[in-house]
Amino acid sequence: MVNGSLVATCEVLQYSFYVDQDNIQTLLLLHAYHAGLYFNRTYPINKTTRKSMGLYSSSRVPASSALLLCFCVLLLAGVHGGSRRLYIVYLGDVKHGHPNDVIASHHDLLSDVLGSKEDSVASLVHNYKHGFSGFAAMLTEEQAKQLAESPEVISVEPSRSYTATTTRSWDFLGLGYQTPGDLLREGRYGEDIIIGVVDSGIWPESRSFSDQGYGPVPSRWRGKCEVGQSWDGNNCSRKIIGARFYSAGIDEEVLKADYLSARDGMSGHGTHTASTAAGSVVEGASFHGLAAGVARGGAPHARIAVYKSLWGPRAQGSSTTILAAIDDAIHDGVDVLSLSIGGGGPDDKDSFGMLHAVQKGIAVVYSAGNDGPRPQTVGNTAPWVITVAASTIDRSFPTVITLGNKQQIAGQSLYYQDKNSARSSFRNLTTGVGDLSCTEEALNGTDLKGKTVMCFPEDGKLALTPLWEFQSALQNVRKAGGSGLVFAQYTTDILGNTANCGGIACVLVDLDTGYQILEYMGSASSPVAKIEPARSFTSKEILAPKVAAFSSRGPSIYNADVIKPDIAAPGANIIAARGNSYMFASGTSMAAPHVSGIVALLKALYPQWSPAALKSAIITTASVTDEHGMPILANGLPRKIADPFDFGGGHINPNRAADPGLIYDIDPNDYNIFSCIMKRSASCNTTVVPGHLLNLPSISVPDLRYPVTVSRTVTNVGEVDAVYHIAIESPVGVRMEVEPSVLVFNAANKVQTFKVKLSPMWMFQGDYTFGSLTWYNDQRTVRIPVAARITIHDFFADVA
């Protein structure tokens, strides 16, 4: 216990704080809004911090010094009344003209609590001084409480932990490079739009970040290229125009496994997301021949600003690093922020950073999370950000399994054979002893050398996606000497784990296919099977898009009166850059940069549009049916027709978003009213306004007991003279009325307001039902989703 305490204390002294999964991140986005930026949401010590701690050239402290420092800290902990941890202190808008004056004000405030300027300097980890005012500091619980009582302080919260949550997808979305769609061409391929990527860094040598043919860096750019380990000024270019990194509060062991610079490390996550959003055109990209084609980002001529906030092989970060990145991004002049991160908690206490960004005109795009198909798991739910669900595309990777009776069965995988791999051949086919699962116990003592193993999930585990179960089965089969693995599961949305099976053949099959194989095994005296390498197959015959099973679902636990996620975009089996090659990855982390790239194109086409207008254009033009007219489905248990809690307004349709007809715009200051609910605004009054009263391109009433009337205002951005009629699809059990039912626009009347009345038709404790409101004419349809839940009691168990 004593040794453990000393180790923990020494780690704090080295500023490699372990940040537990507690508590901060959305008001930053509102300042970005006023600056014209967008975000996608998916975080290792900087030099200043190292110097303040006396760590000039090494991240390690000599053992003797560490021991002495440990005793010092233990003494200090006793003096200050408890152990210290990292807190985020939020002060609202910047109230001083120069960043140095902002920092001085932070020290004054902290010195009043800690007793001296010296203690303040030792406690501070990072100052937020550009887009908003605040700081990260090591404090005891009592010191945090004292700070929270100051009239200057809006909130004091513990720093949270965060983690990270293509050749075909852009063609699938109608943005083909060879025959560019309307938005890609009219948006000038995103030329000179600056996308800030808050992630695990970037691999600058990748062909996806070539700056060949690019002009000078935009003169409005105020960022910098921060040098560090394996990164110098030459790693920035006319494509990667800025690079910063933030490591305060990250565990020392995590930092050791990464580059202390903006260079992407083992995870490759940031390189993948950056190339998806804004990668340059690369001919002949593939993963060992699979998915061969042209790799590029959605806005291939956009510039990239890198803000490394995630570290190590698992791409871990904290509130401290992410807020620091957003603060600098606001100062640097990005147009769009892309954050493929999650894990900070469902209450969005860190959302003030995003609010400040949005209020500066920056559009912010976040990933929704990968905890689906369970309901109420969606993250990053602040109404000022774009929250993105993940979908599938019309490409599969059939992997043929030939049984000994010559029957051929198709599964899916990314299995390939390189020059060192054994060629495909028939091998004995078996299962675990007395158990169809491939747990360590089921395979214990079984000689699987040279055999292919048929595996099923453990009993009761079918509700899980195949991620860790497949990985566990693969490890056990390899350990027992197996040469192949066929794994049955209800969904094959995620194939990434089959890309590297350690030299053995592996394939995922559906449950019914798995039982067909079992029937053959039961009828054959010596069952055998041969697994061929996967092939790429793209066809309109594939039912797509579908909401991916892993994609987190609504409603939001804390903000149920705002429909989240907002939109769905491709996020399953997406190929993009990683290091010097190209890899598949799945997750809402892959979906968010698709939206970031599209927002960049829209920003280039409509530079004066606000983040809310851009978000509205995407949501109101989204598709709820596929090209065959079939309703878009959501994979899960069971598969079902997708609803707004699966994909918000629907599946993104970029070319339609370029011509939305009407937009639901929002004055960024209006978000301050909603932020009062989250206790993240300095301008709160006693009136709490529900989120459904914001002029959002959606309506959600989670507590419908009596008739409720909400207003919405639309702005005509199409032909000057236009007439729109209303089409109402009421949620089941709700009567929905719209007044007026016709909107007439002309040169003198570009903005119109209408009222929506929702009335419960019955009195009972209900569940959510869904509908929509659509304004239409001969040229356009402008649709928003509606969700309502009839209730009669304040508290009840069945909420989703």
pLDDT tens-place string over residues 23-46: 333 334 444 444 444 334 333 333
Q: Tokens for 55?
A: 């760590």
Span of 172-186, 626-640, 749-763 with lowest mean pLDDT: 172-186
117 neighbors 54 (Cβ within 8 angstroms)? no
Neighbours of 63 (CB within 10 A): 9
Answer yes or no: do 587 and 647 share one domain. yes
The residues near 298 (Cβ < 8 Å, ≥ 6 apart) are: 170, 175, 190, 276, 277, 278, 593, 594, 596, 597, 598, 600, 601, 654
Average pLDDT over residues 235-261: 95
**Both 773 and 625 in a single domain?**
no
Distance in angstroms (rounded) separating the CA atoms of residues 507 and 465: 15
Q: Confidence class of residue 293 from pLDDT cuts 50, 70 and 90? A: confident
Class of residue 508 by CB neighbours under 10 A (exposed 0-12, middle 13-18, buried 19+): buried
Backbone angles phi, psi at 308, to 5 degrees: -75, 115
pLDDT at 679 over 70: no
Q: Could you tell me if 251 and 377 lie in one domain?
A: yes
What pLDDT score was predicted for residue 37? 43
What is the pLDDT at residue 444?
78
Q: How far is CA 723 from CA 558, 598, 656, 665, 755, in A?
A: 38, 28, 19, 19, 17
Give the containing element (helix H, strand E) for 547: strand 546-547
CB contact burial 204-218 (16+ within 10 A = b; e otherwise): bebbbbbbeebeebe
C-alpha 751, offset from chain centre: 34
pLDDT band at 671 (very low <50, low <70, confident <90, very high): confident
> Could you report the per-residue pLDDT of 478-487, keeping only the tens digit for each?
988 899 999 9
pLDDT band at 489 (very low <50, low <70, confident <90, very high): confident
Catalytic residue check, 269? yes
The one catalytic residue among 309, 589, 681, 700: 589
Q: Are residues 506 and 629 in the same domain?
A: no
Under DSSP, the state recorded for 321 is H
Is position 57 within any domain? Answer: no
Contact 254, 564 (CB under 8 A): no
Q: What is the pLDDT of residue 742?
A: 98
The pLDDT tens digits of the residues spanning 685-728 come to 545 567 888 999 999 999 999 999 999 999 999 999 999 999 99
The model carries a pTM of: 0.83
**Tens-place pLDDT, residues 549-605:** 999 999 998 889 999 999 999 999 899 999 999 998 899 999 999 999 999 999 999
Find all residues with CB under 8 Å of 48, minimum gap 6, and list them: none
Structure tokens at 788: 């309502």
The answer as to whether 168 is a domain residue is no
Q: Fill in the DSSP letter of residue 375.
A: S
* CA–CA separation, 362 and 329 (whole Å): 9
589 is catalytic: yes
Helix (H, G, I), strand (E, B) or coil at 183: helix
Omega before 375 within 30 of 0, i.e. cis: no
Residues in the chain: 800
577 contacts 275 by C-beta, under 8 angstroms = yes
Task: Read off the CATH number of the domain in which 743 is found.
Answer: 2.60.40.2310
Q: Does pLDDT of 781 surpass 50?
A: yes
Cis before residue 545, ω within 30 degrees of 0?
A: yes
Say whether both 323 and 439 belong to one domain: no
- Please say which residue of 499, 529, 559 terminates a domain: 529
Lookup: tokens for 615: 């978000």
d(CA 322, CA 723): 45
Q: Looking at 663, 688, 714, which one is the last position of a domain?
A: 663
Whether 291 contacts 337, CB under 8 Å: no
Euclidean distance between CA atoms 370 and 547, whole angstroms: 12
Q: Which residue has the higher pLDDT, 413 or 59?
A: 413
End-to-end CA distance of the chain: 44
What is the rounded CA–CA span in Å between residue 498 and residue 584?
10
Nearest Cα to 783, choosing from 653, 690, 608, 603? Answer: 653
C-alpha 228/C-alpha 215 separation (Å) is: 26
Q: Ranked by mean pLDDT, which of 346-360, 531-545, 735-749 comes out on top?
A: 735-749
- Which amino acid would we find at residue 56? Y
pLDDT in tens, 505-516: 999 998 899 999
The two three-digit tokens of residue 323, written as one number? 């807020």
462 — pLDDT class (breaks 50, 70, 90) = low
Is position 690 within any domain?
Answer: no
Q: What does the buried/exposed string (b/e) look like for 311-340 if buried means 16 or more CB atoms within 10 Å of the residue's CB?
A: bbeebbbbbbbbbbbbbbbbbbbbbbbbbb
Alpha helices in 333-480 (DSSP H): 352-359, 467-479
In a domain, 69, yes or no: no
Residues 525 and 551 placed together within one structural domain of the fold: no
| C-alpha 761 chain-centroid distance | 38
Contact at 8 Å (CB) between 59 and 130? no
With 60 as the cut, is the pLDDT of residue 57 above it? no
- Separation of alpha carbons 23 and 137, rounded Å: 14
Adjacent-strand bridge partners of 623: 651
Q: Residue 643 — very low, low, confident or very high, per pLDDT cuts 50/70/90?
A: very high
Spatial distance between the Cα atoms of 546 and 572, rounded to a whole number of angstroms: 10
- Give the burial class of 630: count Cβ atoms within 10 A of its Cβ; 0-12 exposed, 13-18 middle, 19 or more buried: exposed
In a domain, 442, yes or no: yes
Strands annotated E in 406-483: 408-412, 427-430, 452-455
pLDDT of residue 523: 93
What dihedral angle (degrees, nearest 10) is formed by the CA atoms of 600, 605, 610, 611? -20
Mean per-residue pLDDT of the chain: 84
- Tell me which of 33-47, 113-127, 217-231 is least confident: 33-47
The Cα–Cα gap between 475 and 466 comes to: 14
Binned at pLDDT 50, 70 and 90, residue 181 comes out as low
Round to whole Å and give the CA distance between 387 and 399: 34
DSSP, collapsed to helix, strand or coil, labels residue 703 as: strand
Q: Encoding tokens for residue 473?
A: 């089965």
73, 149, 250 from 82: Cα distances, Å: 11, 19, 21
Tokens 């301050």 locate to 672
Residues whose CB falls within 8 Å of the CB of residue 30, separated by 6 or more in sequence, listed in order: 352, 354, 355, 356, 357, 358, 359, 360, 384, 668, 671, 672, 675
For residues 5 and 3, what is the distance between their CA atoms, to the nearest angstrom?
A: 5
pLDDT of residue 445: 72
Query: Does 46 map to a domain?
Result: no
Domain's final residue, options 472, 502, 529: 529
Look at 432 and 670; give whichever has higher pLDDT.
Answer: 670
Residues 359 and 220 in one domain: yes
Residue 798 is predicted with a pLDDT of 54
**Residue 354 has what pLDDT?**
92
Tokens, residue 631: 């309703």
Q: What is the pLDDT of residue 343?
A: 63
Count the neighbouring beta carbons within 10 Å of the beta carbon of residue 161.
18
Whether the CB-CB separation of 347 and 25 falls below 8 Å is answered with: no
For residues 717 and 769, state if they share a domain.
yes
Q: Is the per-residue pLDDT at 240 higher than 50? A: yes
C-alpha–C-alpha distance, residues 571 and 232, integer Å: 33
**CATH number of the structural domain spanning residue 96:** 3.30.70.80
Q: In the block, which residue shows the tokens 């005109």?
A: 361
For the chain, what is the radius of gyration of the CA atoms?
Answer: 27
Q: How many CB atoms lie within 10 A of CB 592?
A: 35
* β-pair partners for 87: 137, 158
| Residue 33: inside a domain | no
Q: Which of 199, 258, 350, 670 is catalytic?
A: 199
Domain check: are 405 and 373 in the same one?
no
Q: Contact at 8 Å (CB) between 318 and 138?
A: no
Segments forming the whole domain that contains residue 523: 398-529
**Assigned token pair, 396:** 């599969």
Confidence of residue 82 (pLDDT cuts 50, 70, 90): low
Most confident of 177-181, 363-367, 417-421: 363-367
pLDDT of 269 over the 50 cut? yes
204 and 294 together in one domain: yes
What is the rounded average pLDDT of the residues 613-638? 94
Same domain, residue pair 301 and 332: yes
Q: Are 337 and 357 in contact (CB under 8 A)?
A: yes
d(CA 74, CA 85): 13
On whether both 233 and 254 belong to a single domain, the answer is yes
Domain containing residue 273: CATH number? 3.40.50.200
Q: What is the DSSP code (8-state) at residue 189?
A: G
Determine contact, residues 391/647, Cβ cutoff 8 Å.
Answer: yes
List 106, 107, 126, 269, catalytic entry:
269
Report d(CA 512, CA 706) in Å as an integer: 47
**CB of 663 closer than 8 Å to CB of 616:** yes
Q: What is the pLDDT of residue 342?
A: 80
Contact 720, 690 (CB under 8 A): no
Percent of the chain clearing pLDDT 70 (strictly above):
83
- pLDDT at residue 266 in the model: 85
Q: Quickly state the pLDDT bin for 170 (edges 50, 70, 90).
A: confident
In a domain, 312, yes or no: yes
Q: Comparing 318 with 13, which gets the higher pLDDT?
A: 318
pLDDT confidence of residue 28:
40
Total domains in the chain come to 4
Mean pLDDT lowest among 82-91, 132-141, 336-345, 526-535: 336-345
